[in-house]
Chain A
Amino acid sequence: MGPTVLIVDDALFMRMMIRDILTKDGFEIVGEAENGVEAVKKYAELNPDLVTMDIVMPEMDGIEAVRNIIKNDPGAKILMCSAMGQQPMVVEALEAGAKDFIIKPFQPAKVLEAVRKALRGEE
């Protein structure tokens, strides 16, 4: 079994895309969440090796979710997935403890590279 991943994105389409890219490369998707509240809950439940985290989501945004997850598990490996116009928020997310970010839309090769880098613990 490959590394376990929790996918967080409010868009069903994006979750499917990321799932598709990662499973083809041997990762195991252990869960999906569509907002920050669910993400925090599922992280605690599933304890995945890596989280892909959208930023703009209803209920609780991705930055707040990163803060909450890191508070409970400072070693959590979280990769932010943001759209082009959201750079100021990316900086906030990195400060909150995310390892890296990728810009939507995704090229599979870039996603895999960033995921592997985050798993190795490189910043």
Chain B
Amino acid sequence: MSEKKFDGVLSSVQIDALREVGNIGAGNAAIALSEMVEKRVELSVPKANLLPLAKVPALVGGPETPVAGVYLRVFGETRGSILLLLERDSAMSLADFMVNRKLGNFDDEKLRRSALKETGSIISGAYLCALSELTGLNFKQSVPAFAMDMAGAILDHVLVGHAECEDYVLVVETDFKVEGVRIQGHLILFPDLGTLSVILERLGVPIE
């Protein structure tokens, strides 16, 4: 397998292939989410994009925007990290849906954080499952970490533990509606160096 470093230019076919991963992943994630909250989840067409790292904070409204982040490492046949960033208000609504409806009026911060962490892990799993099906590669996930902080701080934290990564990240905008409440967030895949070329090759659209 070639491990070419990605230079930032993708053909439209390659972008399409990555979008398809995003689409199927988002579909999986919507099913998972709807089972978790026991409500119908409406899904808008997800937008998948490959972006330079530096542009990530702007996605969520700038480095100082308060967000909830769930972070985990991906290992196995290829390596990388996944960060799910949810707008703070979206995260709060989601935690409400899960904790209050499921377990009675349990106003326990620890439980809410645990619910969000688990959601992040399950949504990441849903996307990884799509990636695994389309590439034939096997992945394992690490234990997730959770933080409620400014977007910039969370990203710095992720990048510090991630020396050998590509300069580009795959971003899937996730936009769900649960009972009319909008849950907005971004799922960001940080491929380790060389990973992107392996994924594109497996998707049948190799970097030339």
Contact = CB atoms under 8 A, between A and B. Distances in A.
A59 B31 CA distance: 30
Contacts of A106: 35
Contacts of B103: 16-17, 20
Interface residues on A, range: 20 to 34
Contact of A11 (B102, B114, B142): B114
Given A11-B114, A16-B111, A107 B35 contact: yes
Contacts of B102: 17, 20
Nearest to B118: A11
A104 B125 CA distance: 9
Contacts of B140: 56, 86, 88-89
Interface residues of B, number: 32
B147 interface: no
Contacts of A107: 35
A86 B141 contact: yes
Interface string B139-169: 1111100000000000000000000000000
A58 interface: yes
A86 B110 contact: no
B7 to A, nearest CB: 29
Nearest to B77: A88
A13 B122 contact: no
Interface stretch (B13-21, B126-134, B170-178, B195-203): B126-134
Interface string A4-29: 00000011111011001000000000
A85 B139 contact: yes
A88 B136 CA distance: 11
A1 interface: no
B118 A13 contact: yes
Contact of A83 (B98, B114, B121): B121
Contacts of B32: 84, 104-105
A106 B35 CA distance: 7
B110 A84 contact: no
Contact of A56 (B111, B121, B126): B121
Interface string A22-42: 000000000000000000000
Nearest to B34: A105
Contacts of B141: 56, 83, 85-86
B76 interface: yes
Interface of A: 10-14, 16-17, 20, 56-58, 83-89, 104-107
29 contacts: A11-B114, A11-B117, A11-B121, A12-B111, A12-B114, A13-B98, A13-B114, A13-B117, A13-B118, A14-B118, A16-B103, A16-B111, A56-B141, A56-B142, A83-B121, A83-B122, A83-B125, A83-B126, A83-B141, A85-B129, A85-B139, A86-B140, A87-B132, A88-B76, A88-B138, A89-B140, A104-B32, A105-B36, A105-B122
